[in-house]
Amino acid sequence: MQTGNDRTVVVTGGAGFIGSHIVAMLVREGWRVTVVDDLSGGDRANLPTGVPLIIRDIADPALLPVFGEGAFDAVIHCAAQTSVPHSVADPAYDRQVNLGGTENIVHCAKETGVGRFVFFSSGGAVYGDTTARADEMTLPAPLSPYGVHKLAAEGYVALSGLSYAILRPANVYGPRQRAGTDGGVIATFVDRLARGESLHINGDGEQVRDFVYVADVAAAVRAALSWNHSGLWNVASGAETTVNDLARQVGEALGVVPTVAYGPARAGDVRISRLSNERITRQGRWRPEYTLAQGLAAMVAARAAADVKVAD
């Protein structure tokens, strides 16, 4: 079983929203962490003091000697092009990052004897629209180049010969998520309502999502590092929320009543995303701890604390 105790791990995309929470968790658990991030979507300030940062594209062949020097026990591959609309507008770039970049990281891991490979895929984008809760046996039906390339990248990981865990997270939210980013609907809603602005919803707001708190996702990574077998797992809250209901709940967390304007649905967006978390919870080492209301409260509190720090 992999635990901390001075083991070494590289986290790609570790300066980003999800990656930085994973890095902080690993540091607390005693891992020696190295981060690879080109800072296109991440921020050095997200990293704990003393964590080495290698600023490099994940598709860069020059990463191989970096892996060789680090002699890493594990890889957590979070780095990605995450925008569905961007993948529709520029599928070649999405393929270069999400497929080519993953192929390169897998190659580096194989060549340097990495013991465990954890890959972040996408639950919503890979499954597409789901009338029932999608489990790991549900036939994938991606609706965007992003989903297609994430699914293909899973294949590279599964065929690598490495000990691996493929995680398909639902819609992740939490502190440090940037407003205005694709997938960052909660951060955007919190930011706009906190500034007294109205909300804009693409489509009719009856899109269904599973929102999972980022601390729960980091805990799933901890669990995936500890398993001694390879496989695929959804990482989801198991709850279903419409975007309209989300707007109401964010308003409640901030003590305001939202004003909402509606616009056209976006190309490539999934309308109904329902994920089953039964397989991962049956492992007995992970289950979501945060309800949406609890996660929103934690996110609002973190924002308030950050505002106080800036004011000081």
Catalytic residues: 146
Name residue, tokens 């865990």. 165
- Token reading at 239: 């709850």
Q: How far apart are CA 138 and CA 232, in angstroms?
A: 12
Q: How far apart are CA 235 and CA 147, in angstroms?
A: 16
Q: Where are the alpha helices (DSSP H) in the chain?
A: 17-28, 63-70, 84-89, 91-94, 101-111, 123-127, 145-158, 185-194, 214-226, 243-254, 278-282, 292-311
Provide the edge-to-edge strand list for the sheet that holds 231-235.
Answer: 53-54, 32-36, 8-12, 74-77, 116-120, 164-169, 231-235
User: Which SS3 state, helix, strand or coil, does residue 52 take?
Assistant: coil
User: Which SS3 state, helix, strand or coil, does residue 216 take?
Assistant: helix
Q: How far apart are CA 298 and CA 245, in angstroms?
A: 18
Helices (H) and strands (E) in the chain — how many of each? 12, 13
